[in-house]
């Protein structure tokens, strides 16, 4: 593994940083308060290639390598974690899945729209009764001549309210359980497909999370992604990327919380001196920075493996687990350093504290990561 970023990767990181500081930083608090990211922003992101980061140019993508993509995600997370997760789902889950598993017809039909930002994508696996236990889905899609008839409910669907195309995991062969799951591409607006009210969340409030319900919803048979009953494998194959993405998000949030704390501790005077002069604060800052450094390296390492097509399930889980736990440690310390101000919404660390909490939950809880890691160790 090479620790040095290439010139291209440095440029991409710098461009993302500029975009984030010009376009996201001034509005991130507003997105949080209004619990919405305006759709126009996605258009702007598409114009700059951020809606097709991992896609090759023939489909309108910007053809970034995976490490570059992770660098962009980290930069965006420093200012707006809510946007990051929305883009992460769109780029690394749905677009990448269609690219890997789609037929040429599906690729031509959907990828250009996704990369141009005409379509926003969503990924839908979780159900009310199937969270960590993702294998126990209840939503069914039964083939009846040319159509699958879908019935059931999905929860916590990121981009649920703004997406045009949904990657839906359902049972096509219910008796086979996880071996009877298929992945269907479902467009918004189909009869029998209802999108519920926006979830009210602790953090990443700008991201649009919904419940989806299906009542005899008909989806053409050709909308199946990959082979029938092989959907669970698709879901699992995407998890590594998703987890590395959440790892990058965690690192980004944590880095920003540290940066804000450094700034504040230099400015804030108590007992006649800046609080960064006190050893209690210095040691907090040192611990935060050390933890972030370790997390970042785990994330980059997993990204490097993923980029080089080396199996990295264990490493992706470790990176996600470690980075999300330390992000929560760091944001807590950041609020603590800010004292009363850290509890107020005028200060960004208040939002980071709420945003970071989800990193230990989605794309597999920390408990699910530990299951994956120990399973790999005990093989």
Partner 1 sequence: MYLDKKYEDFRKKIREFSEKEIEPAAHKIDESAEFPYDNIKKIAELGLLGMVVPPEYGGSGIDTLKYVLVVEELSRVCGSTGITVAAHNSLAICPIFLFGNEEQKKKYIPPLAKGEKLGAFGLTEPEAGSDAGGTKTTAVLDGENYVVNGSKCFITSASVAETFVITAVTDKTKGTKGISSLILEKGMKGFSVGKKENKMGLRGSDTATLHFEELKVPKENLLGKEGEGFKQFLITLDGGRVSIGAMALGIAQGAFDQAMKFSRTRIQFEKPLIEFQAIQFKLADMATQIEAARHLIYHAAFLEDKGEKYVKESAMAKLFASEVARYVCYQAIQIFGGYGYSREYPVERYLRDVKLCEIGEGTSEIQRLVIFRELMR
Q: Which is nearer to partner 1, 32 or 75 (CB)?
A: 32
- Judged by CB under 8 A, how many residues of this single chain contact partner 1? 43
Quick one: how far is CA 28 from the chain centroid?
Answer: 17
3-class DSSP assignment, residue 24: helix
Q: Which of 42, 76, 322, 353 binds partner 1 (CB under 8 A)?
A: 353
Binding flag, residue 30, partner 1 (CB under 8 A): no
Active-site pick, 74, 333, 350, 363? 363
350 interacts with partner 1 by CB under 8 A: yes
Only one of the segments 6-14, 17-25, 55-63, 355-363 lies at the binding site for partner 1 (rule: CB under 8 A); that segment is 355-363
Q: Name which of 122 and 185 has its Cβ closer to partner 1.
A: 122
The answer to whether residue 346 forms part of the interface with partner 1 (CB under 8 A) is: yes
Q: Is 354 in the site for partner 1 (CB under 8 A)?
A: yes
Distance CA 76, CA 82 (A): 9
From 79-87, 130-138, 160-168, 230-238, give the range in contact with partner 1 by CB under 8 A.
130-138
Q: What is the CA radius of gyration of the chain?
A: 21
Q: Which of residues 196-215 bind partner 1 (CB under 8 A)?
A: 199-203
Instruction: Tell me if residue 199 is catalytic.
Output: no
- Closest distance of CB 115 from partner 1, Å: 29
Q: Give the SS3 label for residue 121.
A: strand
Q: Is 27 in the site for partner 1 (CB under 8 A)?
A: no
Report which of 209, 139, 201 is spatially closest to residue 169, judged by C-alpha positions.
139
Question: How far, in Å, CA of 283 to CA of 248, rounded?
Answer: 24
The CA distances from residue 291 to 2, 255, 302, 319, in Å, are 21, 10, 17, 12
Long-range contacts, stretch 59-63, CB < 8 angstroms, 24+ apart: 59/99, 59/107, 59/108, 59/111, 59/112, 59/115, 60/111, 60/112, 60/115, 60/116, 61/95, 61/111, 61/115, 62/115
| Minimum distance of partner 1 from residue 93's CB (angstroms) | 16
Give the footprint of partner 1 on this chain (CB under 8 A): 126, 129-133, 136, 155-156, 199-203, 269-272, 280-281, 328, 332, 335-336, 339-340, 342-346, 350, 353-354, 357-358, 360-362, 365-367, 370
Residues assigned a catalytic role? 363
């Amino acid at each position: 593994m090479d620790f040095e970023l290439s010139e291209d990767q440095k440029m991409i990181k710098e461009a993302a940083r500029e975009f984030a500081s010009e376009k996201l930083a001034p509005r991130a608090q507003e997105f949080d308060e209004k619990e919405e990211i305006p759709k126009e922003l996605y258009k702007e992101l598409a114009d700059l290639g951020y809606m097709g980061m991992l896609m090759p140019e023939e489909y309108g993508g910007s053809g970034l390598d995976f490490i570059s993509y992770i660098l962009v995600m980290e930069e965006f997370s420093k200012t707006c974690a809510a946007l990051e997760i929305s883009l992460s789902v769109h780029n690394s889950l749905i677009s990448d899945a269609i690219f890997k598993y789609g037929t040429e017809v599906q690729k031509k039909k959907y990828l250009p729209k996704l990369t141009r930002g005409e379509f926003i994508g969503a990924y839908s696996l979780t159900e009310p009764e199937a969270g960590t236990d993702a294998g126990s889905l209840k939503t069914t899609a039964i083939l009846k001549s040319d159509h699958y008839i879908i019935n059931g409910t999905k929860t916590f669907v990121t981009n649920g309210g703004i997406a045009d195309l949904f990657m839906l995991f359902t049972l096509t062969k219910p008796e086979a359980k996880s071996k009877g799951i298929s992945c269907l591409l479902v467009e918004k607006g189909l009869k029998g497909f209802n999108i519920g009210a926006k979830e009210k969340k602790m953090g990443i409030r700008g991201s649009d999370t919904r419940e989806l319900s299906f009542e005899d919803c008909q989806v053409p048979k050709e909308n199946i992604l990959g082979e029938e009953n092989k959907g669970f494998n698709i879901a699992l194959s995407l998890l590594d990327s998703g987890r590395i993405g959440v790892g990058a998000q965690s690192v980004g949030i944590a880095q920003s919380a540290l940066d804000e704390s450094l700034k504040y501790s230099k400015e804030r005077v108590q007992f006649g001196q800046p609080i960064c002069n006190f050893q209690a604060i210095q040691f907090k800052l040192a611990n935060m920075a050390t933890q972030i450094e370790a997390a970042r390296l785990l994330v980059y390492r997993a990204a490097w493996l993923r980029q080089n097509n080396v199996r990295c399930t264990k490493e992706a889980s470790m990176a996600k687990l470690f980075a999300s736990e330390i992000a929560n440690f760091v944001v807590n310390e950041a609020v603590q350093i800010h004292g009363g101000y850290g509890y107020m919404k005028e200060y960004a660390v208040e939002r980071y504290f709420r945003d970071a909490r989800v990193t230990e939950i989605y794309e597999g809880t920390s408990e699910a990561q530990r299951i994956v890691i120990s399973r790999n160790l005990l093989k």
